[in-house]
Structure 1
Amino acid sequence: MRTAVETAPRSAPRDRWRPAVPDVLVVAAAVVFAVAMWRWGRWLIDERGYDLFVFFPPLLAGFEPHTGPGTVPAIVVAALVVVFGPPLATRLRRRVLFPLTWAASFAWITSLALVDGWQRGIADRLATDQEYLHDVGRVDGIGQMLSIFSEHILTAGQQPGQQWWWATHVAAHPPGAFAVFIGLDRIGLSGGGWAGMVVIAVGASAAVATAVTLWALGAERWARAALPFAVLFPGAVWMGVAADGLFAAVLAWGVALLALAATATTSARAWLLGVAAGLVLVLSLYLNYGLVLAGLLPLVVLVLTRRTAVVVPALLGGGGGVVAAFTLAGFWWYEGYEKLRLIYAASIASERPYWYFVFANLAAVGYVLGPAVLAGLRRLGTRPRSAAAPLALLVAAGVAAMLVANLSGMSKGEVERIWLPFAIWVVQATALLPRSQVRVWLAAQAVLALGVNHLLSMPW
């Protein structure tokens, strides 16, 4: 009889650790595709004169082999997760497993960031002239910032008479993201070091949030199987320290809270969790306009649980409160989004050819997901629907969000960080990998992340 997390029939003893030939072919095809996108990108830059603003196509990175203080810790963390992660994920109780998962994810993201050193890898990331901390000194507080935010999104050329405008990442996001860093500054956690560590700490919890969601939906088996892969996520390279890692975690916890609300055993608990879910989910829309594409994730929860009643407290309670608070403070979400479209049309994106990035984005997200996820996606259609429905639908929602973003033309490049909120759900496909091959695939994930982080230099 199979164990709780066994996901495939046993192979012959001498071959059971070896990845199946179709899995290897899928990964090999992805490698060839990535190389082709690199070659096409270099041709566009060198021969056609395009300013793609991606120096190692399709990634916004430069080739710069290096090591740093995080090199040894990153290797140690990877080795520990590869060796001990699978059995611990199988055996530990939630009250131990979830904190341990967060700690391991935090250690992995932090050690990868420290490969570039404390200053370059963490403290300076959010303090450049394009990032959030650049504008913290311009405002007196969150309330005052919200009242003037919309007035300073566009540049002088886009809005005649404008004297100054927000830094690139402040203007390109709703004010909720900026409010996070203003809040940190006002409570004494000033500077890039604190901001970077908070982003890492919150982002590291995304692995737990996805597991909580699957667990609540009755898919404990799949949640346990995917946890080691959620920790050794190659996208951790960009979660330390891009604010998109924080966005990913907030969205994930909103989905998790909705799943808990929809499966609550009492009406009072369902309402309380529903209000919390609505608050967090709608708040995520005030962190990043693009997270509206993640709407399929909460919809999956409602379809699977058939508890649509939780929509009432979620929208009228928590979600409605968030919208009312931002609107009354002076920021209207749709107005901000329309101004973002003007900014995007005048930005470097206008120089980036649409058709190249439609394909190159897929190659870029391959670096984020890693070979194990690609192998898991191949297996997604082979599982019985009743057994893997929560897993399959959540993964499909993440894939769909990326595909819509890709075709929209609003994601031409830099998706290795921008799509992190969607990618963490696609990682759950690794739960379908054969138990006997888990360590091989985990090692492959770690090697990819370590290779990217040590061979390339990136602004996040």
Structure 2
Amino acid sequence: MRAGTFVKQHATPLAAAILGVLTVAVGLYEDANGRLLGVPHPPFIGGYNPEATGWLALAIPCFAVAVALVNPLLAKPKALAFAAAIFATTLVLRIVLFAARLGGDFDRTLTVLPRGEGKNEYLPTMAAFEYGPRFVLDRFAELVPALPVHSAGHPPGLILTMHYLGLTTGMRLAWFCLIVGALATPLTYVLAKQLFDERTARIAGVLMVFAPVVLHFGAVSPDAVYLTLGLLAAIPLASGRLVLGGIALAVVVMFAWSELAVGAWAAILVLTRDGFRPALKLGVVCGIAVLGVQALLALTTGWDPIGTFHATHEVYDVGIASRRPYWYWLFGSPTAFFLILGPAISWLAFTRLQQRAPEAFAIFAVILVATVAGFTKAETERIWLFLVPFVCLAAAPLVRRPTLIAATLAVQAIVYELLFDTLW
């Protein structure tokens, strides 16, 4: 292919790559000159700290076997067997990659310790349940200013789940995140089947298995749970089961406000694929469902969604994110997300955007709105984790050599995990 033709056919991913490189260079330059941007190595949240354990001797063969199995998995098993296989592979790879750096301390970032992230996570919130779950729902807006930052930044869905399931220790919560988070891989395959042929749907599932951002932040991060929950809403919405999808979206929004973006993704997808009327219908159904569930909870438990939203916004205003300069993170947030997601996946997704594919337009529109609005400044490798399946959907139709892509993603995941502390 001639150079001019290549540039023309890949103008969008080339422009994104150049902008990404410049963003990284500016961030490191600003940080080196003492202008703090709010993360250890802008635009990435991971802090440089090379470390490895003996588990690395198991992790490398596991990744090698997983890569070798890509083509057989794409070709042979029946749908249910394929879904089970990618779930098991996801779970194994996340466990061994985490252990390759930190050993078996899966609760390291969730347990409250003298040092570490645990004090900002969800477990300290469990003390509020001394007065019962009804009290927590009724007084949540008033509790928000006193809660750890992760609990304060989300509705009470997860902490209620932790209470009812007895997830009161770091290790229990870590395994819950590992298992529930790994379900996102077969669910991505199920979602992709609503849009593509069987092989392309399987490729989307494989991309989710190896996407570095999910391997790094999808192990013991509760954001991995939100990723899986978002797919439970996206699947019925994408397949036209609007009432079921609207109710599912209304429920998962009680875990993370950001899940509203799943409804936006579905509406934009339908708009670009099917036209205005179906998209309007989807939006109306989702709106009624979300508002209806919020109103029902308010009437039956005293839950105050408006007060909670304002309280959360105030916590955000006084937190570190408010001191991160908008001018940099306008570019830094998507750059960090797409680079840690995996350049191979991102390149193909941007190419599909240039081709005006509906599924690519939908996810890039959501990311653009989130970026410009400044909903999130930095830490998008973790916070935008629930958007990863939609990028994989956009990339999957262009994958021609799945084993090669899986291998490049695996190498990136191992190298980055060993060199940078990604916490989760």
TM-score category, normalised to shorter length = 0.7 to 0.9
Q: Is the 8 A contact 1:73 1:111 kept in 2?
A: yes
- Gap change, CA 1:319 and 1:30, over 3 Å in 2: same
1:24-61 superposed Cα distances (whole Å, 9 cap, x missing partner): 998887676555434422333342x4333311211122
- Gap change, CA 1:292 and 1:316, over 3 Å in 2: closer
Structure 1 stretch displaced more, 57-66 or 34-43? 34-43
What does 1:2-401 align with in structure 2 at a 5 Å threshold?
Answer: 33-34=19-20, 36-47=22-33, 49-118=34-103, 120=105, 122-127=106-111, 128-140=118-130, 141-154=132-145, 165-185=146-166, 189-217=167-195, 219-236=197-214, 237-260=216-239, 262=240, 276-299=244-267, 320-321=292-293, 323-325=295-297, 328-380=300-352, 392-401=357-366
Q: Matches of 1:22 and 1:198 in 2, distance apart?
A: 46
Distance apart, 1:295 and its partner CA: 2.1
RMSD over aligned Cα, in angstroms?
A: 3.1
Give the letter for the 2:36 counterpart.
D
Distance apart, 1:447 and its partner CA: 1.2
Q: Would you say how many aligned residue pairs link Structure 1 and Structure 2? A: 408
Question: Which consecutive unaligned segments of at least 5 residues does structure 1 have?
Answer: 1-10, 12-19, 155-164, 263-269, 386-391
Q: Is the 8 A contact 1:234 1:367 kept in 2?
A: no
Question: Which consecutive unaligned segments of at least 5 residues does structure 2 have?
Answer: 112-117
Matched residue of 1:129: which SS?
helix
Distance apart, 1:318 and its partner CA: 8.8
Q: Matches of 1:320 and 1:374 in 2, distance apart?
A: 37
- Gap change, CA 1:23 and 1:131, over 3 Å in 2: farther
Give the letter for the 1:239 counterpart.
G
- Gap change, CA 1:312 and 1:299, over 3 Å in 2: closer
Counterpart residue number, 2:404? 440
Q: TM-score, normalised on structure 2?
A: 0.85
Identity %: 25
Give the letter for the 2:335 counterpart.
A
Q: Is the 8 A contact 1:245 1:420 kept in 2?
A: yes
Distance apart, 1:223 and its partner CA: 0.6
Counterpart residue number, 1:458? 422
Q: TM-score, normalised on structure 1?
A: 0.79
Counterpart residue number, 2:115? none
Q: Matches of 2:378 and 2:163 in 1, distance apart?
A: 28
Distance apart, 1:102 and its partner CA: 1.2
Give the letter for the 1:329 counterpart.
T
Distance apart, 1:232 and its partner CA: 0.6
Q: Matches of 2:313 and 2:284 in 1, distance apart?
A: 32
Matched residue of 2:139: which SS?
helix
Q: Matches of 1:78 and 1:29 in 2, distance apart?
A: 32
Q: Is the 8 A contact 1:126 1:192 kept in 2?
A: yes
Counterpart residue number, 1:162? none
Structure 1 stretch displaced more, 419-428 or 372-381? 372-381
Q: Matches of 1:211 and 1:444 in 2, distance apart?
A: 21
Q: Is the 8 A contact 2:12 2:354 kept in 1?
A: no
Give the letter for the 2:122 counterpart.
Y
Q: Is the 8 A contact 1:229 1:442 kept in 2?
A: yes
